[in-house]
Amino acid sequence: MARLTDFPLHDGGACALPVHAQALAGLDYTPEVAALTAPLYERVRHVVPEVEWPAIAPLVADILRLKREHDAVVLAHNYMTSDIFFCVGDFRGDSLQLAREAARTTARVIVQGGVHFMAETSKILSPDKTVLLPSLGAGCSLAASITGADVRLMRERYPGIPVVTYVNTSAEVKAESDVTCTSSNAVQVVEWAAREWGTDTVICIPDRYLAQNVAANTRLKIVTWAGRCEVHERFTAEDIATLRATYPGVVVLAHPECPAPVVAVADFAGSTAALADYVAQKKPARVVLLTECSMSDNVAATAPATDFIRPCNLCPHMKTITLAGIRDALLYGREKIEVEESVRVRAKQAIDRMLALPLDKRATDFRTGLAPAQVTVFDAHAHIGA
Ligand code: 13P
Ligand code: SF4
């Protein structure tokens, strides 16, 4: 079996071909490739026209070969395009599920089908493994909104208040935090932190909308940061009214990174995994997922009786991850994600505290709205009520 030390033998930078041509060089849709990939095509038939499969199948076959050679797994987030999600993803799910897989996989190489903060999380949890992110362009507007110095400043202003940090942040920010959370456990983690620290206030950063949706589901006071997801902040309550008028009976599901007025008028709000579970269990006749576009394609594969309405908000960061990029990542061993050890150890403590909490099987429905939200958006110069 080839070892990781084999990666440097293939120096991608030395190749003069354009990226796409590099990816396809020597890859043909042979009868062997057709036979090997035929069962995989059945998983994506609903989104990939038959005429396009001969261009995709050779890449899929090559990635399967490279994964075996390098003892690699692909962790595919729910926002990956269906070719990645169903054809080369070994584990699929939301960011909490992928973090758990990163911690327990025995593979030597993890290829992150997701964005930079997810790859960093994998490296923090599995420092002995090689973690590859196929594109360094795969950032996140939430992760970019806050630094470690910002968190230190908040701690100075709110001494003794626990800091709960969304996983959509850099390793440096996690290292300054007490515990991390994801959209599938944010309320649970915030309440745990208040109990552990004995406070009635919790800092929940950096997504102001997630914090508002959490605050509506707890009696705690929340201090947050002015971060926003550039994909989810674009949905409005008016969009939902228009959808309901245009598609009578449509079931509206929203991610909790959407603004609170959107979540308030949706039928259910939860993490990407919770939204997928809702469709699988309730089998609505017609549904709209207010989240990233590719989710609908992926959920539709297992819900043939459901009609998906697709308002399309693409995450430009997630969409920098492509099959060709995954193949190059495995071929050239790039881009290797590293986290400085002193940062990693502190960030791991915050993630481990989250992972140690019991799995709450009941998906958090952010719509239940226990209490009026008490949220303060922190500003370095002033405090503004949200
Ligand atoms: P999930 O944790 O729900 O998968 O969300 C991650 C994300 O980036 C949503 O925009
Ligand atoms: Fe970040 Fe939003 Fe993209 Fe998720 S959808 S990775 S929160 S920018």
The residue ranges of every structural domain in the chain are: 4-139+317-332
**Contact residues of ligand 2, CB 6 A cut-off:** 115, 140-142, 168, 229-231, 257, 292, 315, 317-318
Q: Which residue has the tokens 């909308």?
A: 209
Compute, in angstroms, the gap from residue 301 CA to the centroid of ligand 1: 20
DSSP 320: G
- Which of 78, 117, 118, 141 to probe ligand 2 with, by most ligand atoms within 8 A of CB? 141
Q: How far apart are CA 259 and CA 293, in angstroms?
A: 18
40, 92, 176, 212 from 82: Cα distances, Å: 11, 11, 36, 32
At 8 the pLDDT is 38
Best probe residue, ligand 1, of 257, 317, 351 (max atoms within 8 Å of C-beta): 257
Distance CA 264, CA 262 (A): 5
Q: Is 245 left (phi over 0), alpha (psi -120 to 50) or beta?
A: alpha
**CATH among 3.30.450.20, 3.40.50.10800, 3.40.50.300, 3.30.70.1400 for 4-139+317-332:** 3.40.50.10800
**Backbone φ, ψ for residue 165 (5° rounding):** -115, 130
Answer positive or negative: Cα dihedral of 351, 149, 222, 256.
negative
For ligand 2, the distance from its centroid to the CA atom of residue 318, given in whole angstroms, is 8
Q: How would you write the pLDDT of the chain (386 residues) with one tens digit per residue? A: 333 333 433 333 333 333 444 455 568 999 999 999 999 999 999 999 999 999 999 999 999 999 999 999 999 999 999 999 999 999 999 998 999 999 999 999 999 999 999 999 999 999 999 999 999 999 999 999 999 999 999 999 999 999 999 999 999 999 999 999 999 999 999 999 999 999 999 999 999 999 999 999 999 999 999 999 999 999 999 999 999 999 999 999 999 999 999 999 999 999 999 999 999 999 999 999 999 999 999 999 989 999 999 887 999 999 999 999 999 999 999 999 999 999 999 999 999 999 999 877 666 788 877 667 789 999 877 655 55
- C-alpha 298 – ligand 2 centre gap (Å): 17
Identity of the amino acid at 3: R
Pocket of ligand 1 (CB under 6 A): 78, 94-95, 168, 182-183, 229, 255, 257, 271-272
Q: Which of 80, 182, 364 to mutate to test the pocket of ligand 1 (most atoms within 8 A of CB)?
A: 182
Enter the tokens of residue 308.
């998906």
Sheet with strand 221-224: strands edge to edge = 179-181, 163-166, 201-205, 221-224, 375-378, 383-385
